[in-house]
Copies of this chain bind each other. A is one copy, B any other.
Amino acid sequence: MASESDTQQRILDAARELIHSRSYADVGIAAICDKAGVQKGSFYHFFPSKRDLTLAVLDDFVVWAKQGLVDRAFDPQLPPLARLQRLTELAYEIQKQLAAETGMVLGCPFGNLATEMATQDEAIRHKIAHIFDKFQATFAALLQEAKGRGDLGGIDCEATAHAMLAYFEGVMMLAKTQNDPEVLRQLLPTMTQIRIPAKH
Contacts and interface: CB of A to CB of B under 8 A. Distances in A.
B114 A173 contact: yes
A69 interface: no
A128 interface: yes
Interface of A: 21-26, 102, 104-107, 111-112, 114-120, 125, 128-129, 132, 159, 162-163, 165-171, 173-174, 176-179, 183, 186-187, 190, 193-196
Q: How many copies does the complex hold?
A: 2
A165 B177 CA distance: 12
A187 B163 CA distance: 6
B128 A177 contact: yes
B166 A171 contact: yes
Given A179-B118, A187-B159, A111 B173 contact: yes
Contact of A177 (B104, B132, B168): B132
A49 to B, nearest CB: 16
A22 B120 contact: yes
A105 B105 CA distance: 26
Contacts of A22: 119-120
